[in-house]
Structure 1
Amino acid sequence: MADEELSILLKSANPAMVVVTAAAGGERAGCLVGFHGQSSITPPRYCVWLSKANHTFRIGLRSTHFGLHFLGADDHAMAEAFGSLTGDETDKFAGRSVLPGPGGVPLLADLPNRLVGRRLCVLDDGGDHVCFTLEPVAVRGPTSPFIPLRQSQALDIAPGHGNAERPAPPTERALPGGARLRT
């Protein structure tokens, strides 16, 4: 498979960006996410993939609920705050208006288009991101469609954790000498 061709194809999809929040054990976390989507109509389900390198991932493993805040085209500053800083070193919620949500999830008052989901399951397929499947329990959105902040509008945001910090899974393409994995 041509990695460059896949990269071009996926960048062309230009997904909407969301800020994901979670809380557990008295800790809050939040990060900018481009990997997310509806995964079932009936019953309704929504999935979000979090990087194993992120503070939000570690809090999310202990959290019962997640807040997904859908960013509008004018929310670049919020995307930058939650995407370029790491919760390992910074309280991203400091100075922000935060509301308590279902299951104790912190909700950002300045981002009203949101979905709160109860965590149903977690799938770790060995990649650098882990999928959390959510059951929507609360939704607050606009009365008409809005223009989302797209990945192409957030390319100037340097991530709080780089690719080198994400564990690389042992796949066939990564094994020395083309050795095959045993299953």
Structure 2
Amino acid sequence: MAMLDGPVFVVTTQTEGHPSGCLISFATQTSVRPPSFMVVMPRSSATCDAARRSEHLAVHVLAQHQVALAELFDGETDDEADKFAHCSWRAGPNEMPILDEAIAWFVGRIAHWIDIGDHVAYIVEPVAGWVPDAYEDVLYLSDLDDLEPGHEAPERFVLHKPAAEPRKYGIRFTLDGPV
């Protein structure tokens, strides 16, 4: 799985007026009509717990130069609001916390959720969003090589790596073809 290189996202929500957010790397579109998107969060994350008590999630796309913002939302803190004290944000549609620095975002209604191993998958149906007129390069997992995962991998999984690995992640695709 380490050879897959996908974009990372910051997912935010709020319950009882308290914002919460975390960095995720497991996400994908799940339907075109009606549109839906799946975000997967570690079950141990405070944001995952908040999401179970919320009706909506906000999904933020980051640019490659926003590593510091990704790092801010990668770790767990005793007080989730501390993350929001260190970045610019506002209450958006359905009172979801919207990160002002995100290069694109959408708010989705939580349609379903399911426990998957040590994570919880949320299927969200977009209800509002914003995309820019011009696009920037998106932040990918391989851009965050120095970050450690937020939790330990289960012991039942054994990863086997080739002896000589030229890249940590696989091929990255753009609209112009492989990079």
TM-score by length of structure 1 reads 0.78
Structure 2 alignment gaps of length 5 or more: 159-179
Q: Corresponding residue for 1:120?
A: 111
State the partner residue of 2:140.
Answer: 150
Q: Does residue 29 of structure 1 match 2:27?
A: no
- Structure 2 match to 1:181: none
Looking at structure 1, the residues matched to 23 and 78 of structure 2 have their Cα atoms a distance apart, in angstroms, of 15
Measure the CA separation in 2 of the matches of 1:120 and 1:51: 18
Could you tell me which of 79, 94, 117 is aligned with 2:85?
A: 94
> RMSD of aligned C-alpha atoms?
2.1
User: Aligned match of 2:119 in 103, 119, 129?
Assistant: 129
Q: Within 1, Cα distance between the matches of 2:107 and 2:14?
A: 12
- 1:31 and 1:25 mapped to 2: Cα distance? 18
Contact between 2:63 and 2:103, CA under 8 Å: does it hold in 1?
Answer: no
1:36–1:49 contact (8 Å) kept in structure 2: yes
Q: Identity of aligned pairs, percent?
A: 32
Q: Structure 2 matches for 1:1-183, cutoff 5 A? A: 10-83=1-74, 85-90=75-80, 91-125=82-116, 127-159=117-149, 161-163=150-152, 168=154
Question: Shift of the alpha carbon at 1:76?
Answer: 0.4
**Local SS of the residue matching 1:73:** coil
Moved more, 108-117 or 67-76: 108-117
Higher strand share: 2
Distance apart, 1:158 and its partner CA? 2.9
Q: Which structure's residues are more often helix, by fraction?
A: 1
Structure 1 stretches of 4+ moved >4 Å: none
Contact residue 66 and residue 117 of structure 1 kept, 8 A: yes
Displacement after TM superposition at 1:27 (Å): 1.8
Asked if 2 retains the 8 angstrom alpha-carbon contact of 1:115 and 1:138, the reply is: yes
Amino acid at match of 2:151: G
| Structure number, greater radius of gyration | 1
Partner of 1:7: none
Contact persistence 1:65–1:102 (CA under 8 A): no
